[in-house]
């Protein structure tokens, strides 16, 4: 059974940093692109970033470029999102999802709240 | 960026009704479109991929059609468990973008 479990969310002040993790199981993690998708409270879905199987290609939505870094550790079957210089508008539930363009499997999400 | 415009933003229908949601892309995206269902507090669920292909395990009352810039998502006979918000999503280009969502309620 495919499972994706996010962790690392919480309350952080504007300008602060947070690192999200996603633990994957039930499939060959190193064979798949992985993505982060977020959803602000009461709002729609927004793709944030994705990363190729070997980490050699990474892509970001413009609003997080230069502040967020997606990475992965295939030996640990884990996906990460390092978030720096956080802003109030980054407040959202962050989901990890398997794939680059079609997401059949999603985690349960982890809430990031940016507030003073 | 490719803008995805869904309509309506919300709808109310009776059990058994046929429900149709449209999604328009700001440029030609061929059939590079997916549809998701999201229930409150839950992660989205993929229903339709490549505009018209039903994801494994998804009931056949759900269907999708279209290509180019205009797409349609249909629930042939609305059921109480279909109460959710539905999103279209394009993958012709980066960034991947979603429609704003259509909230479906029971009348």
Helix, strand or coil, per DSSP, at residue B1? coil
Residue A40: which of A88, A81, A77, A97 has the closest Cα?
A: A88
pLDDT digits (tens, 9 = 90+) for A12-38: 999 999 999 999 999 999 999 999 999
Concatenating the DSSP letter of every residue in A27-42 gives S-GGGS-EEEEEE-TT
8 Å CB contact of A45 and B87: yes
pLDDT at A56: 98
Question: CB atoms < 10 A from the CB of A95, how many?
Answer: 24
Asked if residue B1 lies in contact with residue B89, where contact means CB atoms within 8 angstroms, the answer is: no
pLDDT at A10: 98
Does A101 lie at the interface with B, CB-CB under 8 angstroms?
A: yes
Phi, psi of B22 (to 5 degrees): -115, 155
Which of A 37-56 lie inside 8 A of B, CB atoms?
37, 44-47, 50
pLDDT at B16: 98
**Percent of chain B at pLDDT exceeding 70:** 100
Task: Tell me which of A1, A2, A34, A44 to substitute to probe the interface with B (most B C-beta atoms closer than 10 Å).
Answer: A44
Of B43, B87, B101, the CB nearest to A108: B43
Task: Compute the distance between CA of residue B28 and CA of residue B41 in angstroms, rounded to an integer.
Answer: 33
**Percent of chain A at pLDDT exceeding 90:** 100
pLDDT at B2: 98
Task: Compute the distance between CA of residue B56 and CA of residue B47 in angstroms, rounded to an integer.
Answer: 8
Does B43 lie at the interface with A, CB-CB under 8 angstroms?
A: yes
- HEC assignment per residue over B49-87: ECCCEECCCCCCCEEEEEECCEEEEEECCCCHHHCEEEE
Largest separation between any pair of C-alpha atoms in chain A: 40
pLDDT digits (tens, 9 = 90+) for A94-105: 999 999 999 999
pLDDT digits (tens, 9 = 90+) for B16-60: 999 999 999 999 999 999 999 999 999 999 999 999 999 999 999
């Amino acid at each position: 059974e495919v499972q994706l479990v996010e962790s690392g969310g919480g309350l952080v002040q504007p300008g602060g940093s947070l690192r999200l993790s996603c633990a994957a199981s039930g499939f060959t993690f190193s064979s798949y692109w992985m993505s982060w998708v977020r959803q602000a409270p009461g709002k729609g879905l927004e793709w944030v970033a994705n990363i190729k199987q070997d980490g050699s290609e990474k892509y970001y939505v413009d609003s997080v470029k230069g502040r967020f870094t997606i990475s992965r550790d295939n030996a640990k079957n884990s996906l990460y999102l390092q978030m720096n210089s956080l802003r109030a508008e980054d407040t959202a539930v962050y989901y990890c999802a398997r794939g680059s363009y079609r997401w059949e499997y999603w985690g349960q999400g982890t809430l990031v709240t940016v507030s003073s | 960026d490719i803008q995805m415009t869904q309509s309506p933003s919300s709808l109310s229908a009776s059990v058994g009704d046929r429900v149709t949601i449209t999604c328009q892309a700001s440029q030609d995206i061929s059939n590079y479109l997916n549809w998701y269902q999201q229930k409150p507090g839950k992660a989205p669920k993929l229903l339709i991929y490549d505009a018209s292909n039903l994801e494994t395990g998804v009931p056949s009352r759900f269907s999708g059609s279209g290509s180019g810039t205009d797409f349609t998502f249909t629930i042939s006979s609305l059921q109480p468990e279909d109460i959710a918000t539905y999103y279209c999503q394009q993958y012709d280009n980066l960034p991947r973008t979603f429609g704003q969502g259509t909230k479906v309620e029971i009348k």
